[in-house]
Amino acid sequence: MSKLKANFESEDGIGFPGKTYVDELLKPVFKDQHEYLFDAMFMVHRAHTTMLKEQKIITEEEAKEIIHGVKKVSQMNKEEFQYDPVYEDLFFLVESKIAELIGPDLAGKMHIAKSRNDMGEAMYRLVIREHLLELIAHTQALGQALVEQSKHHVDNVMPAHTHTQPAQPTTFAHYLLAISDNLYRDVQRLQNAYDVVNRSPMGAAAITTTAFPINRHRVEELLGFKGIMENSYDAIATGDYLLESGLSIVSLMTNMGRWIQEFLRMASREVGLLKVSDAYVQVSSIMPQKRNPVSLEHSRALASSAVGEGLTIVQMIHNTPYGDIVDTEDDLQPHLYEGFGKALRVVKLMRAVISTMSFNKEEARNQAAMNMITITELADVLARDYDVPFREAHGLSSMVAKKASSLNKELYELKVDEVNGWIQTVEITEEDWKAIVDPQQFVEKRSIHGGPNSKVVKDMIEERVEKWRTIDEDAKLEMKRIEGIKLDLDKI
């Protein structure tokens, strides 16, 4: 034996678990299980024991004693559950404490037809579904805030951008509804993830079910799942519910990060369109004039961090064997919970900012009249009302824009006679020219379904109010149902 090996083993030990294994793996895993899975573990114990009794696999008296032990241990102070190298993890520690109350033989019967494999998967799903529900509920509140804010800005024109350049006039309401619609699709992704997560793996046992006559659907019902993972191999091998959850966070936070960045631009002194409430800005330690919209900055940073947590889920599952494997378990789960936590903070912060922010409609209108962004309407008018072929109309409009630019003038500063002198082929009326350079009229003419026209936007607002209300009702109903499931299990 080498001296290095001898010295290391004298400090670390030669039997399981070695000190390094304890310090760097078992203790951190125990801490995470203790923090995240404690309550879910007892839910599974209660439901599975109840099913064993109903299937006459254990007697009524045995079930009563087991449930009594489970209840007593679940009511203990969580701080009494500290890592002990005698027990591999929280699962075995809890079993030992139940055994102290009801005896090891009876405590062992609690695990008939149950493995750490299906139990672990069930606990993860129970915890993740609550994170999803909470995030859905608060994202709904954010969506509602966006729609409510849009009601006040139906007629407030602003410049829309493409390729970061001023493009055409729109309204702030139209812009906010676009964000709301994007957010709504992300809520649908969260809901889809919830449907994937909310399936019971219980009864799969280690991987091939059991020879005991269990009732998998009864455990599903007791735990409040909506269906079972039918194929037992799939039940303990799949990681898609983790991917669905992680990627729903990635999508939500990526999409939110983009418009948070836009809000920061609009809140800058140079742009001056948005004013974040004093409640959500901080002052400079040296520059007294500063109003730093750090709520937006923190939200952007947290969104990026949440995306990182979600992508970590993908990376940890990628290229792992299709089966029960630790890559999808103890080391992965905290990243998902952290992702949910950060996403929730972003959603809550942005709801507060959006509900209380101010929009500078005068400055927005001024900007909507600048940079010749109504020039598209000149091409349309020439083609629609003066029978100029569209490609020619587009070329003439481009020429007008270039000439105005060379004179350092905005469109509204040009006289119609001056424009007609450049065009030559047709004579635009004074009335038509005034309409062309007016961003408000530009917007009102865009009355096609989904456009910024005030009536179209009002109709969209009405529809979105109802859609977000439905999300709210569904989320509250499901939360109430899950709380009822917990209360029913506590009464067992």
Preceding peptide of 17 cis, ω within 30°: yes
The residue type of 247 is L
pLDDT of residue 198: 98
Q: What is the mean pLDDT of residues 246-269?
A: 97
pLDDT of residue 1: 60
* DSSP per position, 8-58: HHHHH-SSSSPHHHIIIIIHHHHHHHHHHTHHHHHHHHHHHHHHHHHTTSS
Q: In which residue are the tokens 């939200």 written?
A: 299
Structure tokens at 241: 């519910």
For residue 20, name the pLDDT band (cuts at 50, 70, 90).
confident
Q: Answer for the pair 243, 304: CB distance below 8 angstroms, yes or no.
A: no
DSSP summary character for residue 280: G
Pairwise CA distance, residues 466 & 180, whole Å: 13
Stronger pLDDT, 184 or 78, i.e. the higher one = 184
pLDDT of residue 435: 95
Q: Answer for the pair 196, 240: CB distance below 8 angstroms, yes or no.
A: yes
Q: Answer for the pair 235, 267: CB distance below 8 angstroms, yes or no.
A: no
Helices (H) and strands (E) in the chain, counts: 21, 4
Pairwise CA distance, residues 240 & 269, whole Å: 46
Q: In which residue are the tokens 């500290």 written?
A: 82
Dihedral angle, C-alpha 315, 124, 247, 260, nearest 10 °? -110
Q: What is the mean pLDDT of residues 79-84?
A: 77
Q: Answer for the pair 313, 339: CB distance below 8 angstroms, yes or no.
A: yes
Structure tokens at 326: 């630790």
Q: Which region among 101-115, 279-293, 390-404 has the lowest average model confidence (pLDDT)? A: 279-293
For residue 170, name the pLDDT band (cuts at 50, 70, 90).
very high
Highest mean pLDDT among 90-94, 328-332, 486-490: 486-490
Pairwise CA distance, residues 492 & 65, whole Å: 12
Please tell me the pTM assigned to this model.
0.92
* DSSP per position, 166-207: EEEEEEHHHHHHHHHHHHHHHHHHHHHHHHHHS-B-TT-TTT
For residue 171, name the pLDDT band (cuts at 50, 70, 90).
very high
pLDDT, tens digit, for every residue of 439-450?
Answer: 999 999 999 999
Pairwise CA distance, residues 297 & 290, whole Å: 15
User: 455, exposed or middle or buried, with CB in 10 Å at 0-12, 13-18, 19+?
Assistant: exposed
Helix, strand, or coil (residue 227): coil
The residue type of 56 is K
- What is the rounded end-to-end Cα distance, in angstroms, of the chain? 57
pLDDT of residue 444: 96
Q: Which region among 26-30, 172-176, 249-253 has the lowest average model confidence (pLDDT)? A: 26-30
Q: What is the mean pLDDT of residues 286-309?
A: 90
Q: What is the mean pLDDT of residues 94-111?
A: 91
Pairwise CA distance, residues 399 & 378, whole Å: 11
pLDDT beyond 80 at 105: yes
Instruction: Identify the CA nearest to 191 among candidates 413, 431, 475.
Output: 475
Q: What is the mean pLDDT of residues 321-337?
A: 90
* DSSP per position, 113-171: T--HHHHHHHHHHHHHHHHHHHHHHHHHHHHHHHHHHHGGGTT-EEEEEETTEEEEEEE
Q: What is the mean pLDDT of residues 327-335?
A: 89
pLDDT beyond 80 at 83: no
